[in-house]
A and B are shown apart, each in its own frame.
Chain A
């Protein structure tokens, strides 16, 4: 009985904020602008999707969405491209001082973003970085943030694949490269999928670096767009709609990658 109540409370705390967000996003003006004359209703008087309709044609919102998507995907690409081989090397080879190396890798994230953003931005505004498009630079900054985690997750993934399989593959005539692509990668996909989701999420939500690297131009990611919008004191329903829409790509991405994350993939390989 107590378990049910506890689960209920947890679900409530998760669902309720989303419910509030949703409620505001479909509210009509009278439901949110009360002027103190009457209490705010639990459910809007005239729920409608006007906000969503107007957002779907707002160029600046859609463009920000595109930018966020580009940055997110680029970040995932960089992190996997750099992180996967690194993780493999860390997992399979005996490297002196491995513990210290890992410590330094993770300690990057102990550094507060705010302190790091000014020096990073300063470097990125100089040549040769200044030749790169802003979207690229934000993705690069996000890679700095996400790479330690991506490496750590990927390392764990490779460590969970029995070394026997690689040796067996080589002994059957496969070169190291063939082994990597035909044996290791398919088995590592679930874990790498998790790393990809985490990286995408980090980039999608990231505000500080995106703001400082983009403020000189007109490009914005969605979190930065949200800030810009707030300076115009918009209505609650408008903001709620934007926030809700921001959640959707993440959910889609997660479901897309989840297809590759089937548990028990290495079952039966080794007794």
Chain B
């Protein structure tokens, strides 16, 4: 368990700036997620922490120890790759015990630790199987076990759930949360899936173009996004954005108004300070229904109450609590 500090961290690949002057402190035992679209620099940041890429500028500290020049195998970190990278010629037991063997642990000690990992990840009985004889979920658990068994200061996870099917992904999400509660290691997690970031993290950092746009708890980032991109990235279905001029009570063309589907309410009659629109399709997700409404030339999603039913092509009025609305400057994208 350790604190990780990134100070003025930058990484250039030739002329391309992948990581742009990042400042970040990951608290001891915290589960912090770097979330953002593909190519935003989150994986590169992780690899810099691991030591798999050379730092261009800046410093990385683990518990106040500067680790810039340390090769990966000398930092007390563990990493799980998106591809799991299981050693194909070694059994599950040998894979999990790989790092322990390097540390020259005694045979009994090794067996004990491997047994602990097998139990923790529910892999008992699979010790002698080869990676090609395992399912995707099993492989992923072996990769996790292999990393956890070393009791690293920091555990780095690079999109570990991306290769799993949707149902398994949900199961593994809860599994990861359970693991973190039990093992209490500092975890830095990278994903492009905002749902994963929201459900797993103690704090998350939204990253775009190599910069951290916002750092905060899932609640903070969801309820008070600091800029347009973060507001549109976090939350599913995405936040609706309406140009300020068509929103009564705002009527400012320099402002972009953001409002979440669940914050919108419907009325079949015109109400003061409501917006007119035409109903379109309804998406039913089982537990929630979302109605899409054409407003000027955008499509706005509204969460319907279970008993609400709206047909297509009807004239409809949207209104909301103006205290709950998010206002952003159209030019800078920043929250007002």
Interface residues of A (CB under 8 A from B): 162, 164-165, 167-175, 178, 183, 186-187, 264-271
Contact = CB atoms under 8 A, between A and B. Distances in A.
A165 B85 contact: yes
Q: Which interface class (under 10, 10 to 19, 20 to 34, 35 or more) fits B?
A: 20 to 34
Contacts of B240: none
Contacts of A178: 102
A174 B101 CA distance: 10
A165 B73 contact: no
B72 A170 contact: yes
B15 to A, nearest CB: 16
A270 B83 contact: yes
B73 A175 contact: yes
B84 interface: yes
Contacts of A269: 83, 85-88, 131
Contacts of B50: 171
Nearest to A183: B87
A101 B81 CA distance: 33
A183 B52 CA distance: 17
Interface in B32-82: 50-52, 71-73, 77-79, 81
14 contacts: A168-B87, A171-B156, A173-B73, A173-B99, A175-B73, A183-B87, A186-B89, A264-B132, A266-B88, A267-B131, A268-B134, A270-B85, A271-B84, A271-B163
Given A174-B73, A264-B132, A268-B134, A168 B88 contact: no
B131 A171 contact: no
A171 B83 contact: no
A237 B150 CA distance: 69
B232 interface: no
B213 to A, nearest CB: 28
B136 interface: yes
A169 B156 CA distance: 14
A131 to B, nearest CB: 43
Nearest to A170: B72
Interface in B131-176: 131-134, 136, 139, 146-147, 150, 156, 163
Nearest to B79: A171
B130 interface: yes
B229 interface: no
Given A169-B98, A171-B77, A175-B73, A164 B83 contact: yes
Given A164-B81, A164-B85, A172-B146, 15 more contacts: A168-B79, A170-B72, A171-B51, A172-B99, A173-B73, A173-B103, A265-B89, A267-B88, A268-B131, A269-B86, A269-B87, A270-B83, A271-B83, A271-B136, A271-B163
Contacts of A169: 87, 98
Report which residue of B71, B78, B86, B133 has the largest number of chain A beta carbons within 10 angstroms of its beta carbon.
B86
A172 B130 CA distance: 19
What 10 pairs between A and B have smallest CB-CB spacing?
A: A268-B132, A268-B131, A168-B85, A269-B88, A164-B85, A172-B99, A267-B132, A270-B83, A170-B72, A171-B79
Contacts of A167: 52, 72, 81, 85
Given A168-B79, A171-B72, A171-B78, A270 B84 contact: yes
Contacts of B81: 164, 167-168
